[in-house]
Structure 1
């Protein structure tokens, strides 16, 4: 019954057990991962364009996205400040300057890629039956590269387990996102397991959009992508404003991006003391995304 989950999860596991020491090889893998993400997002736009009643479906994507974003954020911000009280930490600003508007534009580029696929799909006259199979093949390759990246991130299991603050932040984010996902499912009259799957993206917009699109169709794939991308954009704005008073809350809301995309903002506005916490929290959440998404998808199809 879990054959579909194992089929998708296998490339990630295989990649994780491969260790590369060559810096040039790792650079090629990192670049290839970026290109594959753009390809898949473009294909996502194509698949959305093939939907019947496109105008109504885009409104559906907006509705699902807004409900999940609102309720998950409410749950996150309700409990993450408790971590700041239980395990207080001091944040000190760095002298470096990060142009936040440039980083926000990098996020918006992803929306532009999806939009480009949508426009191309609407304008071209051919059927798009091939998009699903091509997307699945690219997804397998992407998961393989992501597994390699996680293995070569430099974190050992001991380092993760000993950083109790980063681990606790990750666990609080997981549980609070699930509560928000269940509430969103109830509001939207969706199956609870689907709500749990949709709320298990933890900020990893590219992978969550791909997995949800493959499992539930382009409407939910597009919704999941927007949910997690908006999380990242909100985090870029809130981290400089909150990190001195609520460092754990700021790191937690950044989700899986705390170990990569939003890490420079965390470091420059919160100081180097925040970096290990952010990396551990982001690493755990990144590892959890494919595990829990695929688990809930498999359970929902029983």
Structure 2
């Protein structure tokens, strides 16, 4: 019920932004809404770092179980990338027929192209690390309440809704478009296929690995839920693994955006549940605003799937 209410509030924020844009006119506040989207993403990432730094014993968790979380994350992300690329190439239209626009780029030196790929994700992750460091090393954010992150998400979705109206994006046809409809399937199947190798590289069973990775980037939910089910160590690993998945997506989305249209599928599937909020603007900026529909749909389904799937494995 809490998950449904959370999703309902996100949807309401998006709808309110769309209604507001229609009320004031399609040609008004376009640039302002775009600037505010970017600003809110930066603020959101910063306070995510602050929020993470306030979790009790977080430094101990990173030191003792970080390696297991990293291995599980790499397996889940690798499985997702390989599976989504392989299956999407079979079931989706040719690249020329897809409604995806990749980020423009110029022909430059190899070093310059590499810099263009990594500079944005490095800045984004750096913002998160800055917030985490300040929370751990200073008393500046003792006042911080985690609910602030939620309110920032609502505000971000409001301006995303305005942006969708400005770009005249329609929600029609998602179920009829199998390239969008199958996105959650790519994410779930790819993550679980990658986790099949977990017993070879960690001390955990396939069942445990599937449970820990079933947050699909929703780290706060997965860690708390698994701990509440009576597995605090696995809950800590799941928290870090899903946090790492979200962090990796900041690097991988711009990288895939440089590779071509077909790489929208691994990009959005790597983002997991965050494709409807935290990474939504990043996805749309690298693959075009027409992909917002698929990204939001994917994020909503993954957020609904996580609390259903996690208890099945414990």
Partner of 1:272: none
Partner of 2:295: 285
Separation in 2, partners of 1:65, 1:94: 27
Partner of 1:144: 154
The 8 Å contact of residues 211 and 309 in structure 2, kept in 1 or not, is answered as yes
Aligned match for 1:82, one of 75, 90, 95? 90
Change (3 A) 1:148 1:115: closer
Partner of 2:13: 15
- Normalised to the residue count of structure 2, the TM-score between the two structures is 0.66
How many residues matched? Answer: 267
Give the alignment of 1:70-219 within 5 angstroms: 70-83=78-91, 86-89=93-96, 97=106, 101-102=115-116, 104-120=118-134, 122-123=136-137, 134-135=145-146, 137-152=147-162, 153-154=164-165, 155-158=169-172, 160-161=173-174, 167-185=177-195, 187=198, 188-190=206-208, 192=210, 195-198=213-216, 201=217, 208-209=218-219, 211-212=221-222, 215=225, 219=237
Deviations 1:111-130 (A, max 9, x none): 3234334444554599x8x8
Deviations 1:31-77 (A, max 9, x none): 33431232113322443863535412222321221121122122122
Q: Which runs of 5+ in 1 are unaligned?
A: 202-207, 267-274
Separation in 2, partners of 1:93, 1:8: 31
Partner of 1:269: none
TM-superposed CA distance for 1:223, in Å, is: 2.2
Separation in 2, partners of 1:125, 1:110: 23
Partner of 1:233: 251
Change (3 A) 1:147 1:222: same
The answer as to 2:50 corresponding to 1:42 is: yes
SS at match of 1:39: helix
Partner of 1:56: 64
SS at match of 1:261: helix
Separation in 2, partners of 1:73, 1:93: 18
Q: Which runs of 5+ in 2 are unaligned?
A: 22-27, 199-205, 227-234, 269-274
- Normalised to the residue count of structure 1, the TM-score between the two structures is 0.68
RMSD over aligned Cα atoms: 4.1
